[in-house]
Amino acid sequence: MDNKPAKKAFNYNYPVVAFLYTWAFVFLISATTIKDSGSKIFPYFVSGMAIFLATILLIKNLFNIGIKEEFDFSGTAKATKYFGLLFAYITAASYVGYYLATPIYLILSMRALGQKNYKIMIISAIVVSLFIYVFFDLSLDMKIPEGVLFD
C-alpha cells in the first residue's frame, strides 16, 4: 500500500502578499517626490491601506484563520483573451483613433462575452459611439484621440 502524504496545494496568497508589499512600498517611496504636501496624502493613504490589508492576508494565511480558499483557474483563459482584446483596443486607438477603434472593440468584446445577435452588437456600437461623439466632442468640446495615422 502506498501511504505517501498528499501533496500540499500551493497557496497563491503568499505571492499576492509579496506583490502588494512591493507595490505599496514602491508607491510610497515614489510619493516622496511629490512637492505639494497636500498631494502626498492620497498616495500615503493608499500605500498604508495596501500594507495593512496585505498584513491581514498574511496573518490570516500563516495562522489558518478563516475559511480555506480553493483556487479555481477555470476562467483564466477567457480573462486572458479579454485582456488581450483590451490591450489591442488601446493600441489600435492610439494608431487609428478612438472613433474607428471603439465600435470594432465593442463588437468584438460583446462577441467575446457571449452576445450572438450581430444586429444588437452593431446597433450598440453605433449608438455608444454617437453618444460619445455628441456628448464629449460636440457638447463638452473635448479632444478625442484621433490616432497617429490621421494627424
Q: Is residue 2 in a domain?
A: no
Q: Is residue 85 in a domain?
A: yes
Same domain, residue pair 46 and 87: no
Q: Are 125 and 106 in contact (CB under 8 A)?
A: yes
Indicate the pLDDT class of residue 24, thresholds 50, 70 and 90: very high
**What does the pLDDT read at residue 130?**
93
CB atoms within 10 A of CB 60: 15
Q: Is residue 55 in a domain?
A: yes
**CA-based nearest residue to 69, from 80, 77, 61, 78:** 61
Q: What angle do CA 95, 87, 102 make, to 5 degrees?
A: 55
Same domain, residue pair 81 and 124: yes
The pTM is what?
Answer: 0.56
Same domain, residue pair 50 and 80: no
Q: Is residue 1 in a domain?
A: no
- Which residue bears the cell 497557496? 11
Segment 101-125 shows an average pLDDT of: 93
What is the count of structural domains for the chain?
A: 2
Same domain, residue pair 143 and 103: yes
| Cα 126 to Cα 118: distance, rounded to the nearest angstrom | 12
Instruction: Give the range of the structural domain holding residue 93, as residue numbers without chain letter.
Output: 76-150
Q: How far is CA 148 from the centre of its chain?
A: 25
Same domain, residue pair 81 and 146: yes
Indicate the pLDDT class of residue 147, thresholds 50, 70 and 90: confident
Same domain, residue pair 27 and 85: no
| Cα 92 to Cα 80: distance, rounded to the nearest angstrom | 18
Q: How far is CA 27 from the centre of its chain?
A: 18
